[in-house]
Amino acid sequence: MEMNNALKEILLSEEKIKSMVDGLAEQINKDYAGKKLFVIIILKGSFVFAADLVRKINLPLELDFMVVSSYGSGSQSSGIVKIVKDLNESIKGKNVLIIEDILDSGITLSNLMEVLKVRQPESLEICTLLNKPERRKTHVDAKYIGCDIPDEFIVGYGLDYDEKYRNLPYIGVLKEEIYK
C-alpha cells in the first residue's frame, strides 16, 4: 500500500499493530480469567483499536462509549477535560477496563480516572495502544501499553489530525508542515 502523502514515515505497520493487539489481548485474557469485563471505549480515537481488541478478548464482556474532550482541534491538549458523552449505565462493582488510543500528557486519563473511581468499580485499569512517555505532565498508571513511541505527532488507525487520517490502516508520523 502506498503511504499517504501527508506522512513523513510509517511508524507502525498493519502487521506490527496486529501483533501488539494480540499481545495486549493475551495479557487481558489471562489477568481477567474467570471474570466479566466492562470496557469503556474513549471516542473517537480508540474506535479502531477497540474494535480489533475486543474481538480478541474471549471473556464475557459489555462495553460502552465515552466522549471526552480536551477542548480545541489542534495538536496540543489544553489541559481542561470535559465529559461530552457519559456512560449509559452504572459501573459500580464492575471490572472496568478503559480503552484509549494514546497516552500523551496524561491529562485526559488522569481526570477520567478520578471521575470513574468515585463510581466505585470493583477494579479500574487502562489499556492504551500507544504511550508517549516524554510528554507526560501528570501521573497515570496504565496497566496495559501496546508500545512507547517518540514525541512526534502521529495519525492513523483511529488517530486524527483535525479529524482527518483516522481511516489509515497503519500509524504514521505527520509531516510538520501540515500542523506547524
Cell 481511516, residue located: 167
- Segment (H or E) for 160: none
Integer CA distances (angstroms), 24 to 49, 52, 53, 89, 177, in order? 11, 11, 8, 26, 34
104 assigned to active site: yes
* Residue 28 contact among ligand IMP, Mg ion, none, beta carbon within 5 to 8 Å by kind: none
How far is the C-alpha of 100 from the C-alpha of 70, rounded, in Å?
A: 14
Nearer to ligand IMP by C-beta: 66 or 155? Answer: 155
Q: How many residues does the chain have?
A: 180
Question: Is 108 an interacting residue with respect to ligand IMP (CB under 6 A)?
Answer: yes
Among ligand IMP, Mg ion, none, what does residue 110 contact (CB within 5–8 Å per kind)?
none
Closest CB to ligand IMP among 106 and 146? Answer: 106
List 64, 104, 141, 151, catalytic entry: 104
Residue 156 DSSP class: B
Q: Of the two residues 60 and 74, which places its CB atom closer to Mg ion in the complex?
A: 74
- The footprint of ligand IMP (CB under 6 A) covers 45, 70, 77, 100-108, 153-155, 159
